[in-house]
Structure 1
Amino acid sequence: MQLPAALLPLRHPAFRLLWLANLCSNTGMWMQNTGAGWMMTSLAPSPLMVSMVQVASLLPVFLLALPAGALADIVDRRHYLIAAQAWIAVAGTILALLAWQGMLGPWGLVALTFAIGAGTAMNSPAWSATTPEVVPRADLASAIVLNGIGFNITRAIGPAIGGFTVASAGPEATFALNALSFLVVIVALLFWKREAPRTGLPKEHFLSAMRAGIGFTRNSPVLRATILRGFMFFLFAAAVWGLLPLLVRQQLGLGPEWLGLMLASMGVGAVGAGFVLPSLRSRLDRNGTVTVAAILGGVALVLLGQAHHWSIGVLAMFLYGVAWITGASTLQASAQLSVPGWVRARAIGIYQFATFGGLTFGSALSGWGGEVLGIGWALALSGVLCAISGVAVHRFSIEPAASPTRESSPLPVIPAPEPAAPALAAILADDSSRVLEVVRYQIDPADRATFLAMMAECRQVRLRSGALGWRLFEDVAHPERWVEFWLVESWTEHLREAGRMTESDLAILAAAAALHRGPAPPEAARYLNVPPIPSS
Structure 2
Amino acid sequence: MPSPAPAPVPPAPVPAGRRLPLPRLPRSPRRGKQHGDHAPWRSLRHRSMRWWSAANLVSNAGTWMQLTVQNLLVLQITGSAAATGLSLSVQAAPGLLMGLFGGAVVDRWPRKVTAAVSQAALGLVAFTTAALVAFGELNVGILMALAAVTGLIATVDGPACALLGNDLVPVKDVPSAIAVGSLVHSVGRLAGTALAAVAVAFLGTASAYAANGLSFLFVAAVIPFLRPVQAPPAPTPAAPQVPVPGSSHRPGSAREGLAFFMRRPRLMALAGITGLSAVFGRNYGLTLAVLVTGPLQAGAAAFGTVSTVLAVGGMAGAVLAARLRSPSVRLVGALAAAGGLLQAVAGFSPSLAILLIMVLPMAVVESVSDTAGTTVLQTDPPAHMRGRVLGVWRSASTVWGLMGPPLLGLLMELAGARGTLAVGGLLIAGAVGAGALLHHRRHTPAAVLPELTGPALPPTAVTRPETLRAAA
Aligned residue for 1:129, secondary structure, equals: helix
Change (3 A) 1:117 1:292: farther
Change (3 A) 1:230 1:106: farther
Aligned partner (choices 84, 91, 99) of residue 118 of structure 2: 84
Aligned partner (choices 89, 97, 100) of residue 134 of structure 2: 100
Change (3 A) 1:94 1:321: farther
How many residue pairs are counted as aligned between the two chains? 389
Query: Offset at 1:295?
Result: 5.0
- Deviations 1:288-329 (CA, angstroms, capped at 9, x unpaired): 1123345556778999xx99x9x9999999777545523322
| 1:325 aligned partner | 367
The 5-angstrom pairing of residues 417-428 of structure 1 reads: none
1:90 & 1:165 partners in 2: Cα distance? 20
Amino acid in structure 2 at the alignment position of 1:222: R
2:171 equivalent to 1:142: no
Query: Offset at 1:61?
Result: 2.1
1:349 & 1:151 partners in 2: Cα distance? 21
2:338 equivalent to 1:292: yes
Change (3 A) 1:297 1:243: closer
Aligned partner (choices 391, 411, 414) of residue 349 of structure 1: 391
**Contact 1:78 1:189 (C-alpha < 8 Å) held by counterparts:** yes
Aligned partner (choices 388, 404, 425) of residue 387 of structure 1: 425
**Contact 1:297 1:319 (C-alpha < 8 Å) held by counterparts:** no
Change (3 A) 1:315 1:43: farther
**Contact 1:93 1:176 (C-alpha < 8 Å) held by counterparts:** yes
2:307 & 2:192 partners in 1: Cα distance? 9
Query: Offset at 1:41?
Result: 4.9
2:307 & 2:49 partners in 1: Cα distance? 27
What's the Cα RMSD here? 4.7
Query: Offset at 1:386?
Result: 4.4
1:86 & 1:199 partners in 2: Cα distance? 21
**Contact 2:110 2:234 (C-alpha < 8 Å) held by counterparts:** no
Amino acid in structure 2 at the alignment position of 1:5: A
Amino acid in structure 2 at the alignment position of 1:143: A
Query: Offset at 1:208?
Result: 3.6
- Deviations 1:57-100 (CA, angstroms, capped at 9, x unpaired): 43322222211111111211111111111121111122222233
| 2:380 aligned partner | 338
Amino acid in structure 1 at the alignment position of 2:334: G
Amino acid in structure 2 at the alignment position of 1:95: T
Query: Offset at 1:247?
Result: 12
The 5-angstrom pairing of residues 87-166 of structure 1 reads: 87-105=121-139, 108-166=142-200
Aligned residue for 2:40, secondary structure, equals: helix
- Deviations 1:423-475 (CA, angstroms, capped at 9, x unpaired): xxxxxxxxxxxxxxxxxxxxxxx9xxxxxxxxxxxxxxxxxxxxxxxxxxxxx
1:171 & 1:234 partners in 2: Cα distance? 33
Query: Offset at 1:123?
Result: 0.9
The 5-angstrom pairing of residues 158-197 of structure 1 reads: 158-166=192-200, 169-193=203-227, 196-197=232-233
**Contact 2:336 2:369 (C-alpha < 8 Å) held by counterparts:** yes
1:245 & 1:322 partners in 2: Cα distance? 19
- Deviations 1:358-412 (CA, angstroms, capped at 9, x unpaired): 113335667x869x969xx7x77764564244224314459x99xx9xxxxxxxx
Out of 47-56 and 316-325, give the one that drifted further: 316-325
Aligned residue for 2:41, secondary structure, equals: helix
Amino acid in structure 1 at the alignment position of 2:62: G
Change (3 A) 1:393 1:173: farther
Change (3 A) 1:166 1:252: farther
**Contact 1:72 1:126 (C-alpha < 8 Å) held by counterparts:** yes
Change (3 A) 1:330 1:222: same
Out of 67-76 and 234-243, give the one that drifted further: 234-243
Query: Offset at 1:8?
Result: 0.5
Q: Which protein has the bigger strand share?
A: 1
| 1:39 aligned partner | 73
2:236 & 2:105 partners in 1: Cα distance? 19
Query: Offset at 1:274?
Result: 0.9
The 5-angstrom pairing of residues 113-512 of structure 1 reads: 113-166=147-200, 169-193=203-227, 196-197=232-233, 202-204=238-240, 208-209=251-252, 210-236=254-280, 239=283, 266-278=310-322, 285-294=331-340, 296=342, 322=364, 324-362=366-404, 383=421, 386-394=424-432, 395-396=434-435
**Contact 1:156 1:265 (C-alpha < 8 Å) held by counterparts:** no
TM-score norm. by structure 1 comes to 0.59
1:236 & 1:46 partners in 2: Cα distance? 29
2:55 equivalent to 1:9: no
1:134 & 1:369 partners in 2: Cα distance? 44
Aligned residue for 1:91, secondary structure, equals: helix
TM-score norm. by structure 2 comes to 0.66
**Contact 2:103 2:155 (C-alpha < 8 Å) held by counterparts:** no
Change (3 A) 1:117 1:157: same
Q: What are the ranges of 5 or more consecutive residues in structure 2 without an aligned counterpart?
A: 1-31, 242-248, 293-297, 444-449, 451-472
1:188 & 1:112 partners in 2: Cα distance? 25
Amino acid in structure 2 at the alignment position of 1:355: S
2:354 & 2:206 partners in 1: Cα distance? 30
Change (3 A) 1:9 1:299: farther
1:315 & 1:111 partners in 2: Cα distance? 44
Aligned residue for 1:185, secondary structure, equals: helix
1:46 & 1:295 partners in 2: Cα distance? 39
Aligned partner (choices 52, 56, 60) of residue 26 of structure 1: 60
Amino acid in structure 1 at the alignment position of 2:189: R
**Contact 2:116 2:220 (C-alpha < 8 Å) held by counterparts:** yes
2:96 & 2:157 partners in 1: Cα distance? 13
**Contact 1:52 1:364 (C-alpha < 8 Å) held by counterparts:** no
Amino acid in structure 2 at the alignment position of 1:215: A
Structure possessing the higher radius of gyration over alpha carbons: 2
1:313 & 1:39 partners in 2: Cα distance? 35
1:346 & 1:388 partners in 2: Cα distance? 33
| 1:428 aligned partner | none
| 2:10 aligned partner | none
1:369 & 1:84 partners in 2: Cα distance? 38
Amino acid in structure 1 at the alignment position of 2:159: P
Amino acid in structure 2 at the alignment position of 1:277: A
| 1:422 aligned partner | none
**Contact 1:149 1:274 (C-alpha < 8 Å) held by counterparts:** yes
Query: Offset at 1:116?
Result: 1.9
Change (3 A) 1:220 1:150: same
Aligned residue for 1:55, secondary structure, equals: helix
2:323 & 2:169 partners in 1: Cα distance? 20
1:44 & 1:33 partners in 2: Cα distance? 17
Query: Offset at 1:148?
Result: 1.9
Amino acid in structure 2 at the alignment position of 1:22: N
Query: Offset at 1:226?
Result: 0.9
Amino acid in structure 2 at the alignment position of 1:39: L
